[in-house]
Amino acid sequence: MNLQILNIFKSQLTELPPEIGQLANLRTIQLCNAQLTELPPEIEPLKALENLVLSGNRLVKLPLEIQQLNNLQYLDLNNNPIQDLSALANHPNQHLCVYAFGVKLPRRYWTHLRKWQPVWLLTEKNSEVRRVLIQHFGYERIFQELEAIEFDRWREYTLLKIAADVDIEPIHLLKMTCPSTTHIHVLRVPPYVTSARVAIRWTNWGIDPEAFATET
């Protein structure tokens, strides 16, 4: 069969049949907004494939056989719960573009997400990629692993600033240690806030913490 383009949109398809490997002339696969949970190893014979668009599915990882798709140039994994990109780490095409989490991901991120490190924020120049990293790690882990300067303290609240320039605006964080459980909660506040008490007021829609404590 000389089929070169396969488009499937908004289907209930959860997997591609093994017979997909027989479509050796495929250059583009667009399978978007479906229920796909994995790619079969039978994609290996698709040597002509250049574009693989899989946005809006349920993919968590990729098969190692994707390394055999030498001509693959464009891979779209946006809107998938991807946790492991390590199958792409040794892909032979140095010009392969991979999109996930709404950004074009540089090759250094083609690994299992548990291997991502907050320190990468210090050297990543792309602000959109930094946004993805911040969302992935959360502010609590960032302030724990990167140098944080204490600005101010009020009762169990501490106002912190990440010393490094890891975002477009300075990162100011309000840390609260729960007195009863010792659990730590962290919330980002505007960079103009330099007082812990003002930061609490900002998070409480303008209500001063003393008044809030009285009401509760």
Which pLDDT value is given to residue 133?
Answer: 93
E strands along the chain, which residues?
Answer: 5-9, 28-32, 51-53, 74-76, 97-100, 103-104, 148-154, 157-162, 172-177, 184-189
Q: Give the full edge-to-edge strand order of the sheet including 97-100.
A: 5-9, 28-32, 51-53, 74-76, 97-100, 103-104
Going by the DSSP 8-state scheme, the letter that residue 106 receives in this structure is P
Q: Which residue ranges form the domains of the chain, and what is each CATH number?
A: 5-115 (3.80.10.10), 139-215 (no CATH)
Which pLDDT value is given to residue 212?
Answer: 60
Beta-ladder partners of 52 = 29, 75
| pTM, two decimal places | 0.80
Q: Output the six-digit token pair for 106.
A: 């540089």
Evaluate whether 119 touches 146 at the Cβ level (below 8 Å): yes
Beta-ladder partners of 162 = 148
Going by the DSSP 8-state scheme, the letter that residue 177 receives in this structure is E
High-pLDDT (> 90) share of the chain, %? 66
Render the burial of 4-36: b for 16+ CB within 10 Å, e for the rest: eeeeeeeeeeeebeeebbebeebeebebbebeb
- Which pLDDT tens digit goes with each residue over 72-96? 999 999 999 999 999 999 999 999 9
Helix ranges (DSSP H) in 96-151: 127-137, 139-145
Distance CA 143, CA 172 (A): 10
What are the φ/ψ torsions at residue 162 (nearest 5 degrees)? -75, 120
- Whole-number Cα distances in Å, 121 to 84, 114, 173, 206: 20, 15, 16, 32
Neighbours of 215 (CB within 10 A): 7
- Which pLDDT tens digit goes with each residue over 4-44? 999 998 889 999 999 999 999 999 999 999 999 999 999 99
Neighbours of 48 (CB within 10 A): 16
Q: In which band, very low, low, confident or very high, does the pLDDT at 168 lie, cut at 50, 70 and 90?
A: confident
Distance CA 128, CA 212 (A): 37
- Which secondary structure element, helix H or strand E, spans residue 215, and what is its range? helix 209-215
